[in-house]
Amino acid sequence: MLTVALSKGRLLKDFIKFIDSNGNSKWAEALNKRERKLQIQVENVRFILVKGNDVPTYVEQGIADIGITGSDVLDEKDKLNVNNLVDLPFGFCHFAVASKPDVTEYNKIATTYVKTTKAYFKNKGQDVSIIPLSGSVELAAVVNMVDAIVDIVQTGTTLKSNGLVEKESIGDINAKLITNKHAFFSKSNVIESFIEEIGVSINAI
């Protein structure tokens, strides 16, 4: 049995679209029909549906042999003991510094991505204070709680709708396929055939 941890939100939709486009209708159909189930088994593959941020934990703990999560999630983890194996061709977005148009100095920054933000401004030699938030981060800049935010930007719609502009792009983000370190060796054949079946070429590893 191969266990695959999937995040439940937009990345699940992207994953289903991706595997469906590669002819994997059996998995796509089962995942689309899951309703509120958090575990779906299709022949010898068990999918477990978790919060995006928890995918690496289920893989590191050995519950899942494979995980599909965003590179932003992986960048926020300290000392994650998994194989960061393959880039996947979906989940594209990027990290950005954004603020009101007239703001030019950033002393206070709100973000969900504290580690990424700290590393970015440290690298620039800029001392900032960081206010961690769990979501709707743009609001912190709108109500002047902070000078700027660091958040994910995909289409730019949320920034534009809230009168904010992207000031600096920090780095690109995409979905990644990670594996449990032990399973990578003990289940290498089934892991390789799963990667091929979802439509990613093995020599991408």
Ligand X SMILES: Nc1ncnc2c1ncn2[C@@H]1O[C@H](COP(=O)(O)OP(=O)(O)OP(=O)(O)O)[C@@H](O)[C@H]1O
- Residues lying near ligand X in the complex (CB under 6 A): 7-12, 51-52, 70, 72-73, 91, 93, 152, 154, 173
Binding pattern to ligand PRP, positions 115-144, x when CB under 6 A?
--------------------xx-x------
Instruction: Give the DSSP letter string of 70-106.
Output: EHHHHHTSSS--EEEEEE-S---EEEEEEE-TT----
Q: Which is nearer to ligand X, 72 or 147 (CB)?
A: 72
44 binds, among ligand PRP, ligand X, none (CB under 5 to 8 A by kind): none
Instruction: Give the DSSP letter string of 120-161.
Output: HHHHTT---EEEE-SS-THHHHHTTSSSEEEEEESSSHHHHH
**Judged by CB under 6 A, how many residues of this single chain contact ligand PRP?**
11
Question: In this chain, which of 22, 24, 158, 174 binds ligand PRP, going by CB under 6 A?
Answer: 158
Residue 24 CB partners (closer than 8 Å, separation 6+):
197, 198, 199
Other beta carbons within 10 Å of 199: 14
Question: In this chain, which of 41, 154, 186, 188 binds ligand PRP, going by CB under 6 A?
Answer: 154
Q: Does 89 bind ligand PRP (CB under 6 A)?
A: no
200 binds, among ligand X, ligand PRP, none (CB under 5 to 8 A by kind): none
Q: From 27-35, 40-48, 76-84, 148-156, give the range in contact with ligand PRP by CB under 6 A.
A: 148-156
CA dihedral 15, 19, 22, 28 (to 10 degrees): -140
Other beta carbons within 10 Å of 50: 20
Q: Does 151 bind ligand PRP (CB under 6 A)?
A: yes
Q: Which helix (H) or strand (E) holds 46?
A: strand 45-50
Q: Extract the tokens encoding 140.
A: 């912190």
* Smallest gap from residue 11 Cβ to ligand X (A): 4
Question: In this chain, which of 44, 123, 157, 201 binds ligand PRP, going by CB under 6 A?
Answer: 157
Please give the residue ranges that form the binding site for ligand PRP (CB under 6 A): 135-136, 138, 151-158
